[in-house]
């Protein structure tokens, strides 16, 4: 199985390009531990069933992270304020904790300032965070028409 780590600029043969990462052989027994996002899947670390951060993409030092994207790292959800690669959450000033995993979402109420307002018909990438009716939402996959109330396309991050 291969993972594209950044824009591949048409380099479609994984063995011939450094934009692809070899994830090893596909094991059908671990399929329950993956989240499917569009046409790709992201392996998640094992977490307790009651962990409220299940389903979020793990931070990866080699992966490009877009501004506004949220990643899981060391028991918290972190949001990037700029595009970056390899800038570690908690070390780099370009990350902000938006939620501590295992705690109630209401404990991390934050300002809606700086987050774009939901616009119907606007294309949203996986990980994009928007505000709508004083709440923050994160796109689970590419979505263009779904309202933030659609739990198949959006995750509620909390009040703001």
* pLDDT tens by residue, 73-95: 998 889 898 889 999 999 999 99
Q: Is 160 inside a domain boundary?
A: no
Residue 98 contacts residue 159 (beta carbons within 8 Å): no
Report the alpha-carbon angle 48-52-56, nearest 5: 95
Which H/E stretch holds residue 132? strand 129-132
Whether 37 is covered by a domain: the verdict is yes
**How many domains, in total, are found in the chain?**
1
State which residues form the domain around 20: 1-43
48 within domain boundaries: no
By mean pLDDT, which of 20-34, 96-110, 139-153 is the weakest? 20-34
Rounded Cα–Cα distance for residues 86 and 77 (Å): 16
- For the stretch 100-149, pLDDT in tens is 887 655 444 567 777 888 888 888 888 888 889 988 888 888 888 678 88
Backbone angles phi, psi at 134, to 5 degrees: 60, 30
- 23 in a structural domain: yes
Q: Which helix (H) or strand (E) holds 154?
A: strand 154-159
Q: Would you say residue 94 lies in a domain?
A: no
Mean per-residue pLDDT of the chain:
73
Place of tokens 């949001």: 79
Which range (3-12, 66-75, 111-120) has the least confidence?
Answer: 3-12
Domain assignment of residue 9, yes or no? yes
Rounded percentage of the chain residues whose pLDDT exceeds 70 = 60
79 in a domain, yes or no? no
Instruction: Please indicate, yes or no, if residue 36 is contained in any of the structural domains.
Output: yes
């Amino acid at each position: 199985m291969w993972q594209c780590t950044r824009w591949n600029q048409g380099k479609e043969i994984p063995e011939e390009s450094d934009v692809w990462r070899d994830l090893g052989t596909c094991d059908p027994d671990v399929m329950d531990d993956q989240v499917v996002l569009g046409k790709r899947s992201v392996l998640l670390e094992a977490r307790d069933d009651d962990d409220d951060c299940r389903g979020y993409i793990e931070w990866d030092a080699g992966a490009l992270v877009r501004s506004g994207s949220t990643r899981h790292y060391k028991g918290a959800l972190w949001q990037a304020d700029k595009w970056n690669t390899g800038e570690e959450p908690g070390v780099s000033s370009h990350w902000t904790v938006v939620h501590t995993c295992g705690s109630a979402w209401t404990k991390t109420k934050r300002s809606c300032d700086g987050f774009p307002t939901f616009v119907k018909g606007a294309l949203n990438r996986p990980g994009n965070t928007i505000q709508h009716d004083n709440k923050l939402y994160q796109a689970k996959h590419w979505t263009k028409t779904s309202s933030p109330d659609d739990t198949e396309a959006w995750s509620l991050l909390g009040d703001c």
